[in-house]
Structure 1
Amino acid sequence: MRVNDLLKLIPEETFRDLAVETKVDVQVKKLSGELMFKLILFSMLHSNKLSLRVMETYLQSAKFRSFTHYDILDGKYNSLRDRICTINAEYFEKMFETIFGIYNKVLKEEKSLSKVDSTYVALATKLFSIGMKNGTGDKRHVKYSIILKGSLPSKAKAHTEQSYVSEHLALGDLIASDNGLKNNIVVFDRGLQTRNRFDQFSVDKKFFIGRANKNIRCKIIEDRVLPSKPQKSTLRITSDKTGYLINQDEKKTKNQYRILKGVIDATGEAFCFVTNIIDEDAYQIAAWYKERWEIEVFFKFIKQHLNAKHLVSRNTNGIKVMLYMTMILAILIIAYKKLNKIASYKIAKLKFELELEQEAIKTIVLYCGGDPQKAKHLFDSG
């Protein structure tokens, strides 16, 4: 699927409808929500290190004007800075969630497993005063907590408050806020251990698989029969029990949970999983947990190729806007990569960018009274 066809899957009225819903353009004359969306997306795609100066330059370029079909665009560095700092971030959050819904269906990943985790972006304290401290050193951090459903990000939050250093809070709040996880499975690492959260997930019918401490405390109700090890399994289950978890106050959970223990074949490392999925095969649960590594690959992708480790705005609102725009661009590139069976993220991003550039050239040719079809061979991708 070509980029132009991919982008057409987003209904044109989406921008207008969400602008009205979020009031993003109230008392704004020039830099509308739709224009800022397209400018940030375009600038992210075409720049290895995005900045407000870069965005200002692209805004005035013929390439961007042909992309947006606007004849005259005007906006200076300080206007862009102020707009990003004050624009309603909810507009971009809803755009992100809408676009995820579209491409989640296109890729047929509606029933896919979800993975949740966090990553950090650091900046020197003298440059960034609002971030959280994480460990030693003279740096402040922004924490990005993200849910990856199938291959696409479905939910994202940016945290600068110190309390959100705790994954119990960051990941727990994110899972709790995602109604799309009801009757679906989410996996996470050992950062989330709170028993109250587990009980709430169970009440909400959100099934989870988490990495647990090997000495997890539990009042055992049932010691289950161990299944035969599948031939392709890279680990061995040594214990499968069901019972009530015990918290730090010596109180047991309201719901029963399943504790799986085992050993990884290659390293001999012991592991322990906790889950509220009671009836599924133990090795299937282990296989689902193994998919958690996909979110680590995703973090590497957005940091290396979408420059997510660089903060364009150091304002809380601006950080949220840029996070949602990064998620949107990631969705587009990943969908393009999968639909066109491209192996590399780097090549997928490059081809996406080149195709978008070709569309801009075609528009300019049409403006000049020409016919792009006469040079069709130049635009056919190999």
Structure 2
Amino acid sequence: MKLREILSYIPKEQLRMFALEYQVDRQVKKLSGEVMFYLLLFSSLNVRHNSLRTLEQFYSSPTFTGLFDKPIKHAKYNSISDRLRTINADYFKAIFESVLSRYSDSYLKPKDNIIAFDSTIVTLSSKLLKTGMKVGSYQGLNGIKFSVAFSSVPVNSKLFTQRGFIPRKMLRSKS
């Protein structure tokens, strides 16, 4: 799918309503919720392995800045990192559910509803990641597990900070 096609499933007005509902733009000058959503989506569609430096490069690219009516100022990777750390994740969840609802009404048929799961564990220094499961024997690492259920498109996702997760439980619970 192309970026413009995905963006057609969620009008800018809907993004603004979610931003107000989840207060993601309170005390924020340049990295608004809408900009962060576009940046994450844009980078996800363009590179396989993402990093803060990649996000910084995309943020400054003419292709990305062309998505906006008004010019956007340059942002450093540490500003993007701070914003990702503080933004309300429920904002992205609401966007995801809205897009999925619109997409599934048009394209997903119940008879084709085969669900596959993909999980990955991300480990970081325990100084950066305060919560999470212990990974390996080294005491300085914490891990978090991301699991996504797919049915042609991602239909559910969960973040786990403790061991013992069974993917079938994702089918019974909405996150």
TM exceeds 0.5?
Answer: yes
AA aligned opposite 1:63: T
DSSP-derived class of the 2:134 partner: coil
Cα deviation, 1:246-291, whole Å, max 9, x if unaligned, reads xxxxxxxxxxxxxxxxxxxxxxxxxxxxxxxxxxxxxxxxxxxxxx
2:83 & 2:157 partners in 1: Cα distance?
Answer: 22
2:164 & 2:121 partners in 1: Cα distance?
Answer: 16
Aligned to 2:107: 107
Aligned to 1:264: none
1:57 to 1:2, Cα distance in 2 relative to 1, 3 A: closer
Aligned to 1:74: 74
**TM-score normalized with structure 2 length:** 0.79
**TM-score normalized with structure 1 length:** 0.39
2:30 & 2:115 partners in 1: Cα distance?
Answer: 39
Aligned to 2:121: 121
How far residue 92 of structure 1 moved from its aligned partner, in angstroms, is: 0.4
8 Å Cα contact 2:3/2:42 also seen in 1: no
2:3 & 2:78 partners in 1: Cα distance?
Answer: 32
Give yes or no for the alignment of 1:147 onto 2:161. Answer: no
For residues 154-173 of structure 1, what are the structure 2 equivalents within 5 Å? 154-160=155-161, 162=162, 165-167=163-165, 172=169
8 Å Cα contact 1:146/1:156 also seen in 2: yes
1:122 & 1:75 partners in 2: Cα distance?
Answer: 25
2:32 & 2:48 partners in 1: Cα distance?
Answer: 25
How far residue 82 of structure 1 moved from its aligned partner, in angstroms, is: 0.9
How far residue 86 of structure 1 moved from its aligned partner, in angstroms, is: 0.4
AA aligned opposite 1:166: G
Aligned to 1:52: 52
1:63 & 1:115 partners in 2: Cα distance?
Answer: 34
2:125 & 2:114 partners in 1: Cα distance?
Answer: 34
Cα deviation, 1:59-82, whole Å, max 9, x if unaligned, reads 222221113343232322222111
Cα deviation, 1:184-232, whole Å, max 9, x if unaligned, reads xxxxxxxxxxxxxxxxxxxxxxxxxxxxxxxxxxxxxxxxxxxxxxxxx
Give yes or no for the alignment of 1:43 onto 2:43. Answer: yes
8 Å Cα contact 1:155/1:178 also seen in 2: yes
8 Å Cα contact 1:104/1:110 also seen in 2: no
Cα deviation, 1:154-180, whole Å, max 9, x if unaligned, reads 2211112x3xx1125x753x444339x
How far residue 145 of structure 1 moved from its aligned partner, in angstroms, is: 3.0
1:158 to 1:75, Cα distance in 2 relative to 1, 3 A: same
AA aligned opposite 1:178: K
How far residue 137 of structure 1 moved from its aligned partner, in angstroms, is: 4.7
Structure 2: where are the runs of 5+ without partners?
none
1:53 to 1:104, Cα distance in 2 relative to 1, 3 A: same
1:67 to 1:131, Cα distance in 2 relative to 1, 3 A: same
AA aligned opposite 1:82: D
Aligned to 1:133: 134
AA aligned opposite 2:97: E
Structure 1: where are the runs of 5+ without partners?
180-382
1:151 to 1:84, Cα distance in 2 relative to 1, 3 A: same
8 Å Cα contact 2:3/2:45 also seen in 1: no
Structure whose CA Rg is larger: 1
8 Å Cα contact 2:42/2:64 also seen in 1: yes
How far residue 18 of structure 1 moved from its aligned partner, in angstroms, is: 0.9
1:48 to 1:56, Cα distance in 2 relative to 1, 3 A: same
2:159 & 2:28 partners in 1: Cα distance?
Answer: 26
DSSP-derived class of the 1:145 partner: strand
CA RMSD of aligned residues (A): 3.0
DSSP-derived class of the 1:13 partner: helix
DSSP-derived class of the 1:167 partner: coil
2:6 & 2:117 partners in 1: Cα distance?
Answer: 28
1:62 to 1:46, Cα distance in 2 relative to 1, 3 A: same
2:10 & 2:48 partners in 1: Cα distance?
Answer: 26
2:4 & 2:124 partners in 1: Cα distance?
Answer: 40
Number of matched residues? 172
